[in-house]
Amino acid sequence: MRRGRVVHAAGGDRRLYQSLNSRLFQGDDALEAALAFRAMIGASRLYVADLDALEGGPPSLELYKSMSEHKMACWVDAGVRTAIDADPLLERGVECVVAGLETLRGPRALGELVARGGPSRVVFSLDHRDGASIVAEGSDWADRSPLAIARAAFDAGVRRVILLDLARVGTSRGVGKIDLPAATRRACPGIEWIVGGGVRGVEDLDELARAGVAAALVGSALHDGRISLDDINAHR
């Protein structure tokens, strides 16, 4: 989302994102799109990437307040760098603040955020490109391998992690390699994994379920009809 408008994310190059064309709704107003998602497919929880905030601008706080007033539960990545950055989002009724690896200052900041908002209102996004971690400049992650970062997030109190492949977002390339949930099962018991980037259709949802993934972020396959309401109901 940029300036309150829904855009089609593709491949992680935000300069190239264009207005979205969807079978589910007309126009690109973000609030209207959220309400259409609920009306058309029964979606009550949305993941929102606030591109303005991710690029250093202010987050769309009034929009999140409106979504909360309409009983839409939002997980919002607004480029938080420190725990304090999350306060305005939590105060506007955002269900979960998404703490993204590409902007967060490090595991200490993540631990402070979990302590401030509670583990139920913080989701860590392990941002990567085809398996290579995307780490914020100046951050203090000691080991930048995805497995080490996942363990550090668990030690910081995180219990929900999004494994987000920005290179695959909006590309319909498939979800790629998803061995991290299994690799962390013993060292990080109880982590709920969510995978985003590249979901093509039902076959990918089935593959994720077999890998022990709790949920998936799905966008393009809903907008162009490759995943239907019946498909969603079968995987709830």
Model confidence pLDDT, tens digit, residues 158-215: 999 999 999 998 888 888 888 999 999 888 999 999 999 999 999 999 999 999 999 9
Domains, the chain, ranges and CATH?
7-234 (3.20.20.70)
- Pairwise CA distance, residues 10 & 78, whole Å: 18
- Report pTM: 0.93
- Pairwise CA distance, residues 156 & 148, whole Å: 12
Looking at residue 230, its pLDDT comes to 86
- Pairwise CA distance, residues 226 & 231, whole Å: 9
Q: In terms of C-beta density within 10 A (0-12 exposed, 13-18 middle, 19 or more buried), how is residue 120 classed?
A: exposed
* pLDDT tens, position by position, 63-75: 999 999 999 999 9
Do 80 and 103 meet the contact criterion of CB atoms below 8 Å apart? yes
For residue 134, the SS3 value is coil
Looking at residue 27, its pLDDT comes to 86
* pLDDT tens, position by position, 11-64: 767 776 777 788 888 888 999 999 988 888 888 899 999 999 999 999 999 999
At 199, the amino acid letter reads: V
Looking at residue 170, its pLDDT comes to 83
CA-wise closest residue to 88 among 123, 114, 115, 61: 61
Alpha helices in the chain (DSSP H): 30-41, 51-54, 61-69, 87-91, 107-117, 146-155, 180-184, 202-210, 220-223, 229-234
Residue count (the chain): 236
